[in-house]
Amino acid sequence: MLATQLGFAQTKDPVVEAIVKEANENSQLEPLAHELMDVIGPRLVGSPQMQQANEWAVAKYKGWGITARNEKWGEWRGWQRGVSHIDMVHPRVKSLEGMQLAWSPSTKGKGVTAETIILPDVADSVAFQKWLPTAKGKFVLISMAQPTGRPDYNWQEFGTKDSFEKMKKERTALTEAWRERLRKTGFNNRTLPVALEKAGAAGIVMSNWSSGFGVNKIFSAYTKKIPTVDIALEDYGLLYRLTESGQKPRISVQAESKERGVVPTFNTIAEIKGIQKPDEYVILSAHFDSWDGGTGATDNGTGTLVMMEAMRILKKIYPNPKRTILVGHWGSEEQGLNGSRAFVEDHPEIVKNVQALFNQDNGTGRVVNISGQGFLHSYNYIGRWLSKVPQEIRQHIETNFPGSPGAGGSDYASFVAAGAPAFSLSSLSWSYGTYTWHTNRDTYDKIVFDDVRSNAILTAILAYMASEDPEQTSRERIVLPVDAKTNQPATWPAPKGPTRRGGLD
């Protein structure tokens, strides 16, 4: 249902008008984005940049007169990304586009130069064990070579129907064959690099294409001593074809990093104390950590910006809220909602008094959907609050009540599991899944500031309305439908504990 169909009359509210004016005429989004994404950079859990970001956020809040602190919730392997430099040096020289994966072991000196070899298509795991010594001293290519570097939408636009269909068929067959090739080694994506490392390989070379022009997803390495690098589709294909045709290409890999032992991990918490009901909470929520192929601009720099800007505006326009407005910038969402799960575990007194929580974590786009997360009466209060949001913003938002409880995906789920009315402000995609989510291209230039500004206004107004609401929100849950598979009524997601010590053996 569209929020516009809810039928609430919109009356003028001076606080709402002041929020909109401040957001539009004194926006701090651009400088905040520059400082966070460009100056500090990506925020991998356990990296010095993550801690720098925690300190930066506290300083920003204090500068706005908002109480803020970094709350330790765990420990992680401390790792600092250094230089990644990959060159083909034979049969001709070409610098390759690629980078080491997160937590890849460091190369020493000028790096490693060695020949490339392709993961072989063996009969079974016994044959693979026999082959393994061949990997010694070689860079092993463990990904399939993509048959096309053009995304499907490009084929759709320009290809004949026949050639598009043919390409897709071919790609499906290749993908299936490569899965089979992997399976027959007796290892999986995680264990294969380790087996190759044990066999003395010089390094692991892969390409995790994200199905768009120029995008690869950059996750973590599993090797302990040898580098693991991801190479862009174009250069990976080049190496693969040269290896296959017997040209014996050699690459030189310099992938430096620093191990920093065990480091503490934090959530950044800031709050504007409530005047009438200080023990009831409206929570603004967005994870602060990111993967580090890009700068985490849309995952979740933009969610972070929305919450920071909303807090800044609220402090200025609505400094004496009825209820406490608290913001949580969670650490290590990417490894399993760890920061927010820890907060839920550590602060039952807050969680049981949550009036509402708003989380944003799916890109830079304007909010287009809000689900009631299975709270039976969410329609009433969210509908009331949304009625105050300017029509230009509200018109894009579809609501879905009562919805069903989210079990994962982002930090609101940690609170929903604990029974707190927590909601996801869900964004328009802007090709998030393909182009920015966990990719090497998740950078400042992908931020759509007008949409982020609209989200900051929305969030500030929702927080204001939730704080002012004369009623405490209902936590009554819907009766969940019967699960088609088990024929049993579905159950509410159960709270899960965080990983408090991560990345360490």
CB-nearer residue toward Zn ion: 236 or 412? 412
In this structure, the strands spanning 422-424 and 367-371 are unpaired
Stretch that binds Zn ion, among 55-63, 294-302, 317-325, 484-492 (CB under 5 A): 294-302
Distances, alpha carbon 412 to alpha carbons 269, 284, 347, 376, 396, in Å: 16, 10, 15, 17, 21
Rounded to a whole number of angstroms, the minimum distance from the CB of residue 287 to Zn ion is 5
Rounded to a whole number of angstroms, the minimum distance from the CB of residue 49 to Zn ion is 16
CB-nearer residue toward Zn ion: 214 or 336? 336
CB-nearer residue toward Zn ion: 389 or 416? 416
Identity of residue 100 = Q
Handedness of CA 154, 159, 165, 168 (dihedral sign): negative
CB-nearer residue toward Zn ion: 292 or 361? 361
Rounded to a whole number of angstroms, the minimum distance from the CB of residue 343 to Zn ion is 16
Rounded to a whole number of angstroms, the minimum distance from the CB of residue 413 to Zn ion is 12
Task: Name residues contacting Zn ion, limited to 306-345 (CB under 5 A).
Answer: none
Measure the CA–CA gap between 463 and 505, rounded to whole angstroms.
Answer: 42
Task: Name residues contacting Zn ion, limited to 121-140 (CB under 5 A).
Answer: none
> Per the structure block, which two tokens stand in for 501?
């010590």
How many chain residues bind Zn ion (CB under 5 A)?
3
Rounded to a whole number of angstroms, the minimum distance from the CB of residue 412 to Zn ion is 12
Measure the CA–CA gap between 242 and 88, rounded to whole angstroms.
Answer: 11
Q: Which residues have a Cβ under 8 Å from the Cβ of 455 and sit 6 or more positions away? A: 302, 306, 360, 366, 367, 425, 427
- Cβ(236)–Cβ(251) below 8 Å: no
84, 107, 106, 52: which is closest to 259 by C-alpha? Answer: 106
Task: Return left, alpha or beta for 476; rule: phi > 0 is left, psi -120 to 50 is alpha, else beta.
Answer: beta
Q: Where are the beta strands (DSSP E) in 379-485?
A: 398-400, 422-424, 426-427
292, 262, 302: which is closest to 410 by C-alpha? Answer: 302
Stretch that binds Zn ion, among 15-23, 268-276, 356-364, 485-493 (CB under 5 A): 356-364
CB-nearer residue toward Zn ion: 299 or 442? 299
> Per the structure block, which two tokens stand in for 334?
């990417």
CB-nearer residue toward Zn ion: 84 or 371? 371
Rounded to a whole number of angstroms, the minimum distance from the CB of residue 76 to Zn ion is 17
**Binding of residue 299 to Zn ion (CB under 5 A):** yes
Alpha helices in 64-124 (DSSP H): none
Rounded to a whole number of angstroms, the minimum distance from the CB of residue 363 to Zn ion is 9
Rounded to a whole number of angstroms, the minimum distance from the CB of residue 47 to Zn ion is 16
Rounded to a whole number of angstroms, the minimum distance from the CB of residue 45 to Zn ion is 12
> Per the structure block, which two tokens stand in for 262?
């065990």
DSSP character at residue 19: H
CB-nearer residue toward Zn ion: 84 or 300? 300
Stretch that binds Zn ion, among 233-241, 274-282, 353-361, 392-400 (CB under 5 A): 353-361
Sheet (strand 367-371) strand order: 398-400, 367-371, 426-427
Counted residue by residue, the chain has a size of 505
Rounded to a whole number of angstroms, the minimum distance from the CB of residue 393 to Zn ion is 22
CB-nearer residue toward Zn ion: 300 or 455? 300
CB-nearer residue toward Zn ion: 473 or 499? 499
Stretch that binds Zn ion, among 43-51, 95-103, 137-145, 354-362 (CB under 5 A): 354-362
Task: Name residues contacting Zn ion, limited to 393-422 (CB under 5 A).
Answer: none
Instruction: Out of 207, 223, 257, 300, point to the residue binding Zn ion (CB under 5 A).
Output: 300
CB-nearer residue toward Zn ion: 135 or 417? 417
Rounded to a whole number of angstroms, the minimum distance from the CB of residue 33 to Zn ion is 16
- Cβ(299)–Cβ(361) below 8 Å: yes
CB-nearer residue toward Zn ion: 75 or 361? 361
Identity of residue 78 = G
CB-nearer residue toward Zn ion: 43 or 85? 43
Instruction: Out of 256, 361, 442, 469, point to the residue binding Zn ion (CB under 5 A).
Output: 361
3-state secondary structure at position 481: coil
Stretch that binds Zn ion, among 64-72, 271-279, 355-363, 399-407 (CB under 5 A): 355-363
Measure the CA–CA gap between 287 and 498, rounded to whole angstroms.
Answer: 14
> Per the structure block, which two tokens stand in for 465?
């309305």
Rounded to a whole number of angstroms, the minimum distance from the CB of residue 314 to Zn ion is 23
Stretch that binds Zn ion, among 100-108, 126-134, 136-144, 359-367 (CB under 5 A): 359-367
318, 355, 366, 392: which is closest to 16 by C-alpha? Answer: 318
Measure the CA–CA gap between 416 and 334, rounded to whole angstroms.
Answer: 18
321, 337, 357: which is closest to 459 by C-alpha? Answer: 357
Stretch that binds Zn ion, among 140-148, 296-304, 395-403, 484-492 (CB under 5 A): 296-304
**Residues at the site binding Zn ion, with contacts judged by CB under 5 A:** 299-300, 361
